[in-house]
Chain A
Amino acid sequence: MNDTRRRIAAAFTEAGVSGRLHAVDIDSGTEIDAGADHPVVTASVHKLCLLVALHQQAAAGLLDLTEQVECPPADRSAGPTGLAAMLDPVRMSLRDAAYLMTAVSDNAAADLLLARLGLDAVNGATARLGLTRTRAVHPSFRSLFATIRKDAGPAGASALADPRVLARLRALDPARSNRSTPRDMTRLLTAVWRDEACTPEHGVAIRRLLGLQVWPHRMAAGFPFDDVHVAGKTGSLPTVRNEVGVIEYPDGGRYAVAVFTRAANPAATLPAADAVIGTAARIAVDALRARP
């Protein structure tokens, strides 16, 4: 255990990040704790909470996942993927918006769902699952990015290379942004994989979407095995790189892993900082699998 924690810490240091990790064997409950209770900024990882809340509401009959929503281009949240990057009017079902939000972290799709559900539904869903340290405070992803724009000042995104600007971003302070802990996030994933978060039918739908996430550079990079299934949700903000996910082996072993990092270097492109999420997850999963 101590050796595993030491290796995880060394991997984070080597990659130039501060990292916190919690990994748990979904069936036995055995765990690896490397800063599991440290408060962290979730960023887009919070879309997982929104995804679970959406399916809970569907299970409760409060909404229909095939219900159509309009997404006019004029009022769309900005972003680099999915609806957020599209130019023309779109009409799609709630569950397809959930697909875009999960697979490519689509901010516009997420804000459509947030507008439909409300922030209280998201916080209600995590509270019901006992995630006492998880909370969404931004009513939309658009408003989260607005705090960054405001705190960065008139120089905009280029000011984010300045450490002094980074130090004052509310979005990076767990006390003032969407927040959780690594342990809360593995608890959420465990509930989803054990069908304790909602009905089995909705559990299948959530797991399918998490398995369709396109990003290969973080947690998935740590498991270069064609017979191992990786499902997850990333989250990113300036210096913040996160991913929470579940790794499933063909022998039935399944492990929920949550990794939250802050890079020292404010650069936007840092392949090593992305990859260490997979490296650390792998060290943890290997250790869990080595347990008798």
Chain B
Amino acid sequence: MDLIRHLRCFLAVAEERHFGRAAELLGMAQPPLSQRIQRLERELGVRLFERTSRQVTITAAGTMLLEDARLLLARADALTATARRIREGESGLLRAALPPDLAAEAIAAILAAFRQHRPGVELELHELSTTEQLARFTSRELDVGLVRHPCDIAGLELGPVLLRELGVLLPGGAPAAALDEVPLAALTGYGLVLFPRAEAPALHDDVLNTCARGGYTPATVRQGSGTGFVRGLVLSANAVAFAPRDTAPDDAAGPHADIVWRPLAGAPLAWRHSVAWPRGRGDAAVGAFAEAASRALWNTAAMTADAPARPLHLRPAAEYWL
């Protein structure tokens, strides 16, 4: 008996609770599906489902076996993915992407952690924006990457979501610079320097929306990405900018000594990252990269786990209800 194939049938019926729908999901007819389930029950010596004319319910024994079945199938998928990599002549090479704004220290930590766990796999690193990463997942030119949310996650599997809380860069002479923590509303009167909207429209809008929600509607929004340019605008254009702590300047001598970094009160803004890979293509090397990147970012980039949930008021036009 092909145990993996039979377990896939078991899982499909357990999830769909319907032989017809499970058969459709598996791309097979219903009678052979029923036969496979019976065969699996004989082989395991355990009854997995109770069947009545109208419905299928999983037995207590079936429930106990379900988690093991899931784990076994996930391992089987990983094995197949590794085999495919070997077959496609890419054995020992993992194509991975990191976003441009990651600190050198974080990148070094990812590389070190990955090498330690997967010494036999060569890591081919690319510096790519989230949009570029998603395009390369589709064209199968990339195995794994570190994306910034929100982005279109259809067809992707994700690692844990990590938060890089944002603070504000402001001129040292600004009244708000005297505060230990700056409420968004205290930035009123200053313009905002933000990355170009075309880079990530959803995130751009989300930042401005959060500012407005916090009582800060910038008089002007200027485009800027490069660290030096952003700081130049903060000094010259009566503007502020948001930046994670790990990219903040030290309050010390240097070309931008007149700029200070302060945390935002209540941490309303954050960059959210997670490792992502195309669904069904995660293998051991991808897993090792996900683990290495999550761990390294946690340690170096002042990452935290997800923020506490805010109230959610679904409006009637949402159509769904939970």
Residues of A in contact with B (beta carbons under 8 Å apart): 13-18, 43-44, 78-81, 84-85, 104-105, 107, 135, 137, 145, 148-149, 152, 155-164, 166-167, 170, 172, 175-176, 215, 217, 234-238, 262-269, 272, 274
Contact = CB atoms under 8 A, between A and B. Distances in A.
Given A158-B312, A164-B158, A263 B321 contact: no
Interface string B284-322: 000000000000000000000010011011111111111
Contact of B206 (A84, A149, A238, A265): A265
B111 interface: no
A161 B24 CA distance: 31
11 contacts: A13-B201, A16-B202, A80-B315, A104-B316, A105-B319, A164-B160, A164-B274, A235-B319, A237-B320, A265-B203, A268-B312
Contacts of B201: 13-16
Interface string B134-160: 000000000000000111111011111
Contacts of A236: 317-320
Given A157-B322, A264-B203, A265-B150, 6 more contacts: A79-B320, A80-B319, A157-B312, A158-B312, A262-B154, A263-B202
Interface in B15-58: 15-16, 21, 24-25
Contacts, number: 117
A105 B306 CA distance: 33
B104 to A, nearest CB: 26
B272 interface: yes
B251 interface: no
Contact of A167 (B21, B158, B320): B158
A272 B318 CA distance: 14
Contact of A163 (B24, B274, B322): B274
In order of increasing CB-CB distance, the 9 nearest A-B pairs are A16-B202, A158-B309, A264-B202, A236-B319, A80-B316, A264-B150, A265-B150, A265-B202, A16-B201
Interface centre among B21, B152, B272, B322 (most CB of A within 10 A): B322
A48 to B, nearest CB: 13
Contacts of A155: 309
Contacts of B21: 137
A133 to B, nearest CB: 13
B67 interface: no
B161 interface: yes
Contacts of B310: 158
B272 A163 contact: yes
A267 B213 CA distance: 14
Nearest to A142: B321
B124 to A, nearest CB: 25
A137 B312 CA distance: 29
B321 A80 contact: yes
Nearest to A139: B18
A79 B315 CA distance: 10
A145 B321 contact: yes
B205 interface: yes
A264 B199 CA distance: 13
Contacts of B16: 137
B14 to A, nearest CB: 13
Interface in B101-157: 149-154, 156-157
A215 B319 CA distance: 11
A156 B312 CA distance: 11
A135 B159 CA distance: 31
B150 A266 contact: yes
Contacts of A164: 158-161, 274
A262 B152 contact: yes
B315 to A, nearest CB: 7
A268 B315 contact: yes
A66 B16 CA distance: 34
A280 to B, nearest CB: 15
Contacts of B154: 18, 172, 262
A215 B24 CA distance: 35
A230 B137 CA distance: 38
Interface in B204-259: 205-206
Contacts of B200: 264
A152 B25 CA distance: 22
Contact of B322 (A152, A175, A263): A152
B316 A81 contact: yes
Contacts of B322: 145, 148-149, 152, 156-157, 160
Given A13-B201, A163-B158, A268-B315, A148 B153 contact: no
A152 B309 CA distance: 14
Contacts of A84: 321
Contacts of B159: 164
Contacts of B320: 43, 79, 145, 148, 236-238
A170 B12 CA distance: 12
A170 B17 CA distance: 14
Contacts of B203: 264-265
Contacts of A16: 150, 201-202, 205
A8 B174 CA distance: 44
